[in-house]
Amino acid sequence: MDITTLCIHGAKNNTHNTGAVSVPIYQSATFAHLGVGKSTGYDYSRVQNPTREYLEQTIAALENGIDALAFPTGMAAITALMELFSIGDHIIVSDDLYGGTLRLFENINKKNGLKFSAIDTSNIEEVKKHINPETKAIYIETPTNPTMVVTDIAAMAELAKANNLILIVDNTFLTPYYQQPLNLGADIVLHSGTKYLCGHNDTLAGFLVTNSKELSEKLRYIYKTTGSCLSPFDSWLLIRGIKTLAVRMDKQQENAMKIAGWLTTQEKVKKVYYIGLPTHKDYEVSKRQGKGFGSMISFEVDTEETARNLLERLNLILFAESLGGVESLITYPIYQTHADIPLEDRLARGINEKLLRLSVGLENADDLITDLAQALSKEESYEI
Protein backbone atom coordinates (compact mmCIF):
# COMPACT_ATOMS: atom_id res chain seq x y z
CA MET A 1 0.00 0.00 0.00
CA ASP A 2 1.33 3.45 -0.91
CA ILE A 3 2.21 5.62 2.07
CA THR A 4 -0.22 8.35 0.97
CA THR A 5 -3.07 5.84 1.25
CA LEU A 6 -1.71 4.49 4.52
CA CYS A 7 -1.75 8.01 6.03
CA ILE A 8 -5.50 8.23 5.37
CA HIS A 9 -6.64 4.71 6.19
CA GLY A 10 -4.05 3.84 8.83
CA ALA A 11 -4.16 0.57 10.70
CA LYS A 12 -7.07 -1.83 10.51
CA ASN A 13 -9.73 -0.65 12.96
CA ASN A 14 -10.86 -3.64 15.01
CA THR A 15 -12.18 -1.66 17.97
CA HIS A 16 -15.82 -1.25 16.94
CA ASN A 17 -18.50 -2.51 14.57
CA THR A 18 -20.64 0.59 14.13
CA GLY A 19 -19.34 1.52 10.71
CA ALA A 20 -18.04 4.88 11.97
CA VAL A 21 -15.46 6.28 9.54
CA SER A 22 -13.69 8.22 12.29
CA VAL A 23 -12.00 6.10 14.96
CA PRO A 24 -13.90 6.50 18.25
CA ILE A 25 -12.36 8.28 21.22
CA TYR A 26 -12.38 5.71 24.01
CA GLN A 27 -12.30 8.15 26.91
CA SER A 28 -12.08 5.48 29.56
CA ALA A 29 -9.44 4.99 32.23
CA THR A 30 -10.35 1.35 32.82
CA PHE A 31 -12.19 -1.57 31.19
CA ALA A 32 -14.44 -4.21 32.75
CA HIS A 33 -13.37 -7.84 32.77
CA LEU A 34 -15.66 -10.49 31.31
CA GLY A 35 -14.75 -12.80 34.17
CA VAL A 36 -11.82 -14.13 36.15
CA GLY A 37 -8.91 -14.47 33.79
CA LYS A 38 -10.97 -13.04 30.94
CA SER A 39 -10.15 -9.74 29.24
CA THR A 40 -11.31 -7.78 26.21
CA GLY A 41 -7.65 -7.08 25.50
CA TYR A 42 -7.90 -3.75 27.30
CA ASP A 43 -7.60 -3.50 31.07
CA TYR A 44 -6.26 -0.07 32.00
CA SER A 45 -5.54 2.87 29.69
CA ARG A 46 -2.03 3.38 31.01
CA VAL A 47 -1.19 0.01 29.49
CA GLN A 48 -3.30 0.35 26.36
CA ASN A 49 -6.35 2.19 25.06
CA PRO A 50 -8.16 1.35 21.78
CA THR A 51 -7.78 4.87 20.34
CA ARG A 52 -4.10 5.07 21.19
CA GLU A 53 -3.55 1.53 19.92
CA TYR A 54 -4.95 2.46 16.52
CA LEU A 55 -2.63 5.48 16.38
CA GLU A 56 0.38 3.42 17.42
CA GLN A 57 -0.34 0.77 14.82
CA THR A 58 -0.64 3.47 12.17
CA ILE A 59 2.71 5.04 13.12
CA ALA A 60 4.37 1.62 13.19
CA ALA A 61 3.04 0.90 9.71
CA LEU A 62 4.22 4.27 8.37
CA GLU A 63 7.74 3.66 9.70
CA ASN A 64 7.69 -0.03 8.70
CA GLY A 65 8.20 -1.04 12.33
CA ILE A 66 6.61 -3.77 14.43
CA ASP A 67 5.64 -1.49 17.32
CA ALA A 68 5.17 2.18 18.15
CA LEU A 69 4.57 3.80 21.52
CA ALA A 70 2.73 7.12 21.87
CA PHE A 71 3.84 9.58 24.57
CA PRO A 72 2.48 12.95 25.77
CA THR A 73 5.51 14.79 24.29
CA GLY A 74 8.66 14.09 22.34
CA MET A 75 10.70 14.77 25.47
CA ALA A 76 8.67 12.17 27.38
CA ALA A 77 9.53 9.67 24.65
CA ILE A 78 13.26 10.42 24.98
CA THR A 79 13.06 10.22 28.78
CA ALA A 80 11.55 6.75 28.56
CA LEU A 81 14.07 5.75 25.90
CA MET A 82 16.97 6.56 28.22
CA GLU A 83 15.63 3.98 30.70
CA LEU A 84 16.98 1.31 28.35
CA PHE A 85 20.44 2.19 29.65
CA SER A 86 22.25 1.67 32.96
CA ILE A 87 24.73 3.59 35.09
CA GLY A 88 28.05 3.90 33.26
CA ASP A 89 26.63 3.35 29.78
CA HIS A 90 27.99 5.65 27.09
CA ILE A 91 25.98 7.12 24.21
CA ILE A 92 27.32 8.96 21.16
CA VAL A 93 24.99 11.78 20.10
CA SER A 94 24.83 14.38 17.33
CA ASP A 95 26.30 17.65 18.59
CA ASP A 96 23.59 19.74 16.91
CA LEU A 97 20.56 18.13 18.58
CA TYR A 98 17.46 20.05 19.61
CA GLY A 99 18.40 22.04 22.70
CA GLY A 100 15.81 20.34 24.91
CA THR A 101 17.30 16.93 24.12
CA LEU A 102 20.79 18.10 25.05
CA ARG A 103 19.39 19.68 28.21
CA LEU A 104 17.89 16.32 29.22
CA PHE A 105 21.14 14.48 28.54
CA GLU A 106 23.33 17.02 30.33
CA ASN A 107 21.18 17.81 33.37
CA ILE A 108 19.11 14.69 34.01
CA ASN A 109 20.65 11.62 32.39
CA LYS A 110 24.25 12.48 33.30
CA LYS A 111 23.13 12.94 36.92
CA ASN A 112 21.71 9.43 36.73
CA GLY A 113 25.00 7.95 35.59
CA LEU A 114 24.87 7.95 31.80
CA LYS A 115 27.77 9.27 29.73
CA PHE A 116 27.52 11.19 26.44
CA SER A 117 29.85 12.27 23.66
CA ALA A 118 28.37 15.03 21.48
CA ILE A 119 30.10 15.01 18.10
CA ASP A 120 29.52 15.65 14.41
CA THR A 121 27.84 12.37 13.45
CA SER A 122 27.98 13.26 9.75
CA ASN A 123 31.69 12.37 10.09
CA ILE A 124 31.68 8.60 10.52
CA GLU A 125 35.43 8.47 11.22
CA GLU A 126 34.91 10.82 14.15
CA VAL A 127 32.14 8.55 15.46
CA LYS A 128 34.45 5.53 15.26
CA LYS A 129 37.02 7.32 17.43
CA HIS A 130 34.50 7.77 20.24
CA ILE A 131 33.29 4.17 20.48
CA ASN A 132 34.58 2.49 23.63
CA PRO A 133 33.69 -0.65 25.64
CA GLU A 134 30.97 1.26 27.54
CA THR A 135 29.29 2.60 24.39
CA LYS A 136 25.78 1.22 24.01
CA ALA A 137 24.08 3.45 21.43
CA ILE A 138 24.38 6.12 18.76
CA TYR A 139 21.68 8.80 18.81
CA ILE A 140 21.32 11.05 15.77
CA GLU A 141 19.07 13.73 14.35
CA THR A 142 19.13 13.97 10.59
CA PRO A 143 18.81 16.66 9.49
CA THR A 144 19.84 18.33 12.72
CA ASN A 145 18.10 21.17 14.51
CA PRO A 146 18.87 23.93 13.62
CA THR A 147 21.88 23.78 11.24
CA MET A 148 20.52 20.94 9.04
CA VAL A 149 23.52 18.62 9.20
CA VAL A 150 22.77 15.26 7.56
CA THR A 151 24.07 11.92 8.81
CA ASP A 152 24.27 8.90 6.51
CA ILE A 153 21.85 6.56 8.29
CA ALA A 154 22.80 3.39 6.40
CA ALA A 155 26.51 3.93 7.06
CA MET A 156 25.83 4.67 10.73
CA ALA A 157 23.65 1.55 10.98
CA GLU A 158 26.46 -0.58 9.57
CA LEU A 159 28.87 0.87 12.13
CA ALA A 160 26.38 0.38 14.96
CA LYS A 161 25.74 -3.27 14.08
CA ALA A 162 29.46 -4.00 13.77
CA ASN A 163 29.88 -2.77 17.34
CA ASN A 164 26.64 -4.19 18.78
CA LEU A 165 25.19 -0.71 19.35
CA ILE A 166 21.60 0.53 19.18
CA LEU A 167 21.07 3.16 16.49
CA ILE A 168 18.42 5.74 17.39
CA VAL A 169 17.24 8.26 14.79
CA ASP A 170 15.17 11.37 15.46
CA ASN A 171 13.03 11.57 12.31
CA THR A 172 10.92 14.57 13.34
CA PHE A 173 11.92 16.91 10.50
CA LEU A 174 11.32 14.55 7.59
CA THR A 175 8.68 12.14 9.01
CA PRO A 176 8.16 8.63 7.61
CA TYR A 177 6.65 10.23 4.52
CA TYR A 178 10.08 11.44 3.38
CA GLN A 179 12.48 9.21 5.33
CA GLN A 180 12.22 5.75 6.91
CA PRO A 181 15.28 5.11 9.09
CA LEU A 182 14.26 1.56 10.06
CA ASN A 183 14.50 0.57 6.40
CA LEU A 184 18.05 1.94 6.42
CA GLY A 185 19.12 -0.13 9.44
CA ALA A 186 18.14 1.98 12.46
CA ASP A 187 16.83 0.18 15.55
CA ILE A 188 14.62 2.89 17.05
CA VAL A 189 12.99 5.94 15.46
CA LEU A 190 11.92 8.92 17.52
CA HIS A 191 9.36 11.60 16.70
CA SER A 192 8.12 14.74 18.30
CA GLY A 193 4.57 14.09 17.12
CA THR A 194 3.73 17.66 18.07
CA LYS A 195 5.31 18.75 14.81
CA TYR A 196 4.49 17.39 11.34
CA LEU A 197 2.58 14.29 12.42
CA CYS A 198 0.04 16.45 14.25
CA GLY A 199 0.55 19.31 11.81
CA HIS A 200 -1.73 21.91 13.35
CA ASN A 201 0.21 23.40 16.29
CA ASP A 202 -2.50 22.28 18.70
CA THR A 203 -1.38 19.00 20.29
CA LEU A 204 1.69 17.66 22.07
CA ALA A 205 2.84 14.09 21.39
CA GLY A 206 5.91 11.89 21.00
CA PHE A 207 6.65 8.47 19.51
CA LEU A 208 9.18 5.67 19.68
CA VAL A 209 9.09 3.10 16.87
CA THR A 210 11.11 -0.11 16.55
CA ASN A 211 11.38 -3.19 14.36
CA SER A 212 12.96 -5.24 17.15
CA LYS A 213 10.78 -7.53 19.26
CA GLU A 214 13.33 -7.40 22.09
CA LEU A 215 13.40 -3.59 22.15
CA SER A 216 9.62 -3.46 21.86
CA GLU A 217 9.20 -5.64 24.95
CA LYS A 218 11.70 -3.57 26.95
CA LEU A 219 10.12 -0.26 25.92
CA ARG A 220 6.60 -1.54 26.63
CA TYR A 221 7.67 -2.51 30.15
CA ILE A 222 9.19 0.94 30.72
CA TYR A 223 6.07 2.55 29.24
CA LYS A 224 3.69 0.60 31.48
CA THR A 225 5.82 1.21 34.57
CA THR A 226 6.48 4.94 34.17
CA GLY A 227 2.99 5.69 32.83
CA SER A 228 3.88 8.34 30.27
CA CYS A 229 1.12 7.54 27.76
CA LEU A 230 -0.78 9.72 25.29
CA SER A 231 -4.41 10.45 26.16
CA PRO A 232 -7.28 9.08 24.04
CA PHE A 233 -8.36 12.53 22.84
CA ASP A 234 -4.84 13.59 21.87
CA SER A 235 -4.41 10.23 20.15
CA TRP A 236 -7.50 10.99 18.09
CA LEU A 237 -6.15 14.43 17.15
CA LEU A 238 -2.93 12.78 15.91
CA ILE A 239 -4.94 10.24 13.90
CA ARG A 240 -6.78 13.13 12.27
CA GLY A 241 -3.56 15.06 11.60
CA ILE A 242 -1.79 12.12 9.97
CA LYS A 243 -4.57 11.78 7.39
CA THR A 244 -3.25 14.93 5.67
CA LEU A 245 0.47 14.32 6.32
CA ALA A 246 1.34 13.55 2.70
CA VAL A 247 -0.41 16.52 1.12
CA ARG A 248 0.88 18.88 3.82
CA MET A 249 4.49 17.71 3.49
CA ASP A 250 4.46 18.04 -0.29
CA LYS A 251 2.99 21.54 -0.26
CA GLN A 252 5.25 22.72 2.57
CA GLN A 253 8.29 21.38 0.74
CA GLU A 254 7.22 23.14 -2.46
CA ASN A 255 6.97 26.40 -0.51
CA ALA A 256 10.31 25.79 1.21
CA MET A 257 12.14 25.18 -2.06
CA LYS A 258 10.89 28.47 -3.43
CA ILE A 259 11.68 30.42 -0.25
CA ALA A 260 15.14 28.86 0.19
CA GLY A 261 16.01 29.79 -3.39
CA TRP A 262 14.81 33.34 -2.80
CA LEU A 263 16.78 33.66 0.43
CA THR A 264 20.02 32.79 -1.39
CA THR A 265 19.56 35.92 -3.54
CA GLN A 266 19.15 38.36 -0.65
CA GLU A 267 22.01 40.70 0.18
CA LYS A 268 21.38 40.59 3.93
CA VAL A 269 21.21 36.77 4.01
CA LYS A 270 24.72 35.37 4.28
CA LYS A 271 24.03 31.64 4.58
CA VAL A 272 21.04 29.37 3.93
CA TYR A 273 20.75 25.93 5.52
CA TYR A 274 18.27 23.85 3.53
CA ILE A 275 18.98 20.25 2.58
CA GLY A 276 17.00 20.64 -0.65
CA LEU A 277 19.51 23.08 -2.11
CA PRO A 278 22.07 21.39 -4.39
CA THR A 279 24.71 23.55 -2.71
CA HIS A 280 24.10 21.85 0.66
CA LYS A 281 27.16 19.74 1.49
CA ASP A 282 25.00 16.70 2.27
CA TYR A 283 22.60 17.07 -0.65
CA GLU A 284 23.56 13.74 -2.25
CA VAL A 285 23.22 11.87 1.06
CA SER A 286 19.75 13.37 1.53
CA LYS A 287 18.71 12.30 -1.95
CA ARG A 288 19.99 8.79 -1.35
CA GLN A 289 18.29 8.13 1.97
CA GLY A 290 14.98 9.94 1.55
CA LYS A 291 12.40 10.90 -1.01
CA GLY A 292 12.10 14.54 0.02
CA PHE A 293 13.81 17.42 1.78
CA GLY A 294 11.09 18.74 4.06
CA SER A 295 10.33 22.35 4.87
CA MET A 296 12.76 23.40 7.57
CA ILE A 297 15.11 26.25 6.67
CA SER A 298 17.68 28.01 8.81
CA PHE A 299 19.43 31.11 7.57
CA GLU A 300 22.05 33.51 8.84
CA VAL A 301 21.70 37.23 8.25
CA ASP A 302 24.42 39.88 8.21
CA THR A 303 23.98 41.31 11.71
CA GLU A 304 22.17 40.71 14.98
CA GLU A 305 20.27 43.96 14.34
CA THR A 306 18.94 42.56 11.07
CA ALA A 307 17.80 39.39 12.82
CA ARG A 308 16.00 41.26 15.59
CA ASN A 309 14.39 43.74 13.18
CA LEU A 310 13.16 40.90 10.99
CA LEU A 311 11.53 39.14 13.93
CA GLU A 312 9.77 42.34 15.02
CA ARG A 313 8.63 43.38 11.53
CA LEU A 314 7.10 40.12 10.33
CA ASN A 315 3.33 40.31 9.93
CA LEU A 316 2.33 36.95 8.49
CA ILE A 317 5.03 34.58 9.71
CA LEU A 318 4.62 34.01 13.46
CA PHE A 319 7.56 34.46 15.84
CA ALA A 320 7.05 31.33 17.93
CA GLU A 321 8.74 28.11 18.99
CA SER A 322 7.83 24.74 17.48
CA LEU A 323 7.54 23.73 13.84
CA GLY A 324 5.74 21.52 11.37
CA GLY A 325 2.28 23.09 11.54
CA VAL A 326 0.16 24.62 8.80
CA GLU A 327 1.19 28.09 9.97
CA SER A 328 4.71 29.29 9.17
CA LEU A 329 6.75 29.89 12.33
CA ILE A 330 10.13 31.55 12.82
CA THR A 331 12.39 30.90 15.78
CA TYR A 332 15.51 32.54 17.23
CA PRO A 333 17.47 29.42 18.31
CA ILE A 334 20.14 31.13 20.41
CA TYR A 335 17.49 32.57 22.74
CA GLN A 336 14.72 29.98 22.34
CA THR A 337 15.27 26.33 21.40
CA HIS A 338 18.94 26.31 22.43
CA ALA A 339 18.91 28.86 25.25
CA ASP A 340 20.03 26.29 27.85
CA ILE A 341 23.13 25.25 25.89
CA PRO A 342 26.31 27.00 27.10
CA LEU A 343 27.00 30.05 24.93
CA GLU A 344 30.42 28.80 23.88
CA ASP A 345 28.88 25.53 22.63
CA ARG A 346 26.10 27.37 20.82
CA LEU A 347 28.54 29.60 18.98
CA ALA A 348 30.82 26.67 18.10
CA ARG A 349 27.85 24.99 16.39
CA GLY A 350 26.95 28.10 14.39
CA ILE A 351 24.00 28.97 16.64
CA ASN A 352 24.66 32.68 16.96
CA GLU A 353 22.72 35.95 17.19
CA LYS A 354 22.36 36.07 13.40
CA LEU A 355 20.82 32.61 12.91
CA LEU A 356 17.06 32.19 12.39
CA ARG A 357 15.04 28.99 11.89
CA LEU A 358 11.98 28.99 9.65
CA SER A 359 9.29 26.30 9.61
CA VAL A 360 7.50 26.84 6.30
CA GLY A 361 3.74 26.33 6.41
CA LEU A 362 0.92 26.02 3.91
CA GLU A 363 0.39 29.68 3.11
CA ASN A 364 0.95 31.01 -0.39
CA ALA A 365 4.72 31.05 -0.93
CA ASP A 366 4.66 34.49 -2.55
CA ASP A 367 2.88 35.90 0.50
CA LEU A 368 5.57 34.45 2.74
CA ILE A 369 8.33 35.88 0.55
CA THR A 370 6.63 39.29 0.55
CA ASP A 371 6.54 39.20 4.36
CA LEU A 372 10.21 38.24 4.60
CA ALA A 373 11.18 40.89 2.03
CA GLN A 374 9.52 43.74 3.89
CA ALA A 375 10.96 42.51 7.21
CA LEU A 376 14.47 42.45 5.75
CA SER A 377 14.16 45.93 4.25
CA LYS A 378 14.91 49.22 6.00
CA GLU A 379 11.39 50.42 5.43
CA GLU A 380 8.67 50.35 8.06
CA SER A 381 6.68 47.14 8.17
CA TYR A 382 3.18 47.05 6.79
CA GLU A 383 0.13 44.84 7.07
CA ILE A 384 -0.36 42.03 4.59
Indicate the pTM of the whole model.
0.95
In this prediction, residue 346 carries a pLDDT of 74
Residue extents of the structural domains in the chain? 3-242, 246-376
Across 135-146, b (16+ Cβ under 10 Å) vs e yields bbbbbbbbbbbb
Q: How far is the CA of 250 from the CAs of 176, 200, 237, 292, 367, in angstroms?
A: 13, 15, 21, 8, 18
Residues involved in catalysis: 46, 98, 170, 195
In degrees and rounded to multiples of 5, residue 125 shows phi and psi of -65, -35
Fold of 3-242: Aspartate Aminotransferase; domain 2 (3.40.640)
**Residue 351: pLDDT above 90?**
no
Q: Closest Cα to residue 209, out of 223, 225, 196? A: 223
Instruction: Give the span between the Cα atoms of 82 and 207, in whole angstroms.
Output: 14
φ, ψ dihedrals at 188, nearest 5°: -140, 135
- Mean pLDDT confidence for 141-154: 96
Across the chain, mean pLDDT equals: 94
* Residue-by-residue DSSP string for 229-246: ---HHHHHHHHHHHTTHH
The answer to whether 3-242 and 246-376 have equal CATH topology is no
Between β-strands 318-319 and 329-331, what pairing exists: parallel, antiparallel or unpaired? parallel
Exposure string for 33-53, b = 16+ CB within 10 A, e = fewer: eeeeeeeeebeebeebbbbbb
Contact 325, 357 (CB under 8 A): no
91 φψ region: left (φ > 0), alpha (ψ -120 to 50), beta (else):
beta
* CATH among 3.50.50.60, 3.20.20.450, 3.90.1150.10, 3.30.470.10 for 246-376: 3.90.1150.10
Whether the pLDDT of residue 150 is over 80: the answer is yes
Give the pLDDT band (50/70/90) at residue 295. very high
Radius of gyration over every alpha carbon of the chain, rounded to an integer in angstroms: 21
| pLDDT above 90 coverage of the chain, percent | 88
Cis peptide before 232 (omega within 30 of 0): no
Maximum CA pair distance of the chain?
75
Which of the four pLDDT bands, split at 50, 70 and 90, describes residue 381?
very low
